[in-house]
């Protein structure tokens, strides 16, 4: 199977980002998982979609540059990774969707996770603390020949920390909303 066929299996263009690949896989995995889809060919489609997802992510790690590299990677893929992907997909196809959804493999496709949210909040707090403390230190200990510390830099850093807090809050609210939708769909 060509890489363009793997992308078409996931229903995305070949220039899609890793996040797009993960998002498309999650949709297709839910659509074709045999525990949810009673269609006789659902298991095979689930296996193909999982194979496509694995191949695309692995090819991104390898950094495909030209056709020769592509065919070399495809050959290596056929020997090792394809069989491994099929075995994994067959295992997940035999299990319930709930078990599949709670697996590390499925969870790795989540774009937003708690660690991302915590990281953005931590950066926002650090920027805010260093901005305020730095400004206070500059007011108490001005540089020689400088009466007042530059207010522009202080305001700019406050705006940046406010933007980071806003982004973190949006991530958090989006994460909570996604978890609510997932709980309702169960």
Residues 163-172: tens digit of each pLDDT: 988 988 888 8
Residue that has been written with the tokens 């319930």 in this structure:
96
Question: Are residues 133 and 103 located together in one domain of the fold?
Answer: no
Question: Are residues 61 and 148 located together in one domain of the fold?
Answer: no
- Choose between 2 and 120: higher pLDDT: 120
Question: Are residues 98 and 131 located together in one domain of the fold?
Answer: no
Question: Are residues 84 and 120 located together in one domain of the fold?
Answer: no
pTM of model > 0.85:
no
Number of structural domains, the chain?
A: 2
| Per-residue model confidence (pLDDT) at position 64 | 55
Q: How confident is the model at residue 65 (pLDDT cuts 50, 70, 90)?
A: very low
> Of 80, 107, 134, which closes a domain?
107
Q: What is the mean pLDDT of residues 46-54?
A: 90
| Per-residue model confidence (pLDDT) at position 185 | 61
Q: How confident is the model at residue 11 (pLDDT cuts 50, 70, 90)?
A: very high
Question: Are residues 53 and 138 located together in one domain of the fold?
Answer: no
Q: Quote the percentage of the chain above a pLDDT of 70.
A: 89
Residue 177 has pLDDT above 80, yes or no: yes
Question: Are residues 10 and 100 located together in one domain of the fold?
Answer: yes
Question: Are residues 24 and 64 located together in one domain of the fold?
Answer: yes
Task: Transcribe the chain into DSSP letters.
Answer: --HHHHHHHHT--TT--HHHHHHHHHHHHHHH-TTT---TTHHHHHHHHHHHHHHHHHHHHHT--SHHHHHHHHHHIIIIIHHHHHHHHHHHHHS-HHHHHTSHHHHTT-SS-HHHHHHHHHHHHHHHHHHHHHHHHHHHSPPTT-SS--HHHHHHHHHHHHHHHHHHHHHHHHHHHHHHHHHHH-
The tens digit of pLDDT for each residue in 86-144 reads: 888 888 888 888 888 788 778 777 665 677 788 888 888 998 999 899 888 888 888 88
Question: Are residues 91 and 142 located together in one domain of the fold?
Answer: no
Host domain of residue 155: 114-185
- Token pair, residue 180, equals 């609510």
Instruction: Find the CATH number of the domain harbouring 74.
Output: 1.10.287.110
Q: What is the mean pLDDT of residues 167-186?
A: 78
Question: Are residues 82 and 11 located together in one domain of the fold?
Answer: yes
> Of 46, 81, 107, which closes a domain?
107
Question: Are residues 100 and 9 located together in one domain of the fold?
Answer: yes
Question: Are residues 103 and 132 located together in one domain of the fold?
Answer: no
> Of 107, 123, 142, which closes a domain?
107
Question: Are residues 11 and 101 located together in one domain of the fold?
Answer: yes
């Amino acid at each position: 199977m060509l890489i363009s066929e793997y992308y078409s299996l996931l229903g995305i263009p070949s220039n899609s980002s890793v996040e797009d690949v993960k998002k498309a896989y999650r949709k297709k995995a839910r659509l074709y998982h045999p525990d949810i889809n009673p269609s006789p060919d659902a298991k095979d489609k689930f296996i193909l979609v999982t194979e496509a997802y694995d191949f695309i992510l692995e090819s991104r790690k390898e950094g495909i540059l030209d056709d020769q590299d592509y065919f070399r990677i495809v050959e290596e893929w056929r020997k090792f990774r394809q069989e491994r992907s099929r075995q994994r997909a067959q295992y997940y196809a035999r299990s319930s969707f709930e078990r599949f959804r709670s697996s590390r493999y499925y969870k790795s496709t989540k774009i937003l996770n708690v660690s991302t949210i915590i990281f953005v909040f931590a950066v926002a707090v650090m920027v805010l603390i260093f901005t305020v403390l730095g400004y206070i230190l500059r007011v108490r200990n001005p540089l020689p020949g400088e009466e007042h510390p530059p207010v522009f830099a202080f305001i700019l850093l406050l705006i940046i920390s406010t933007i980071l807090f806003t982004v973190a809050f949006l991530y958090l609210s989006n994460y909570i909303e996604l978890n609510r939708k997932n709980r309702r769909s169960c």
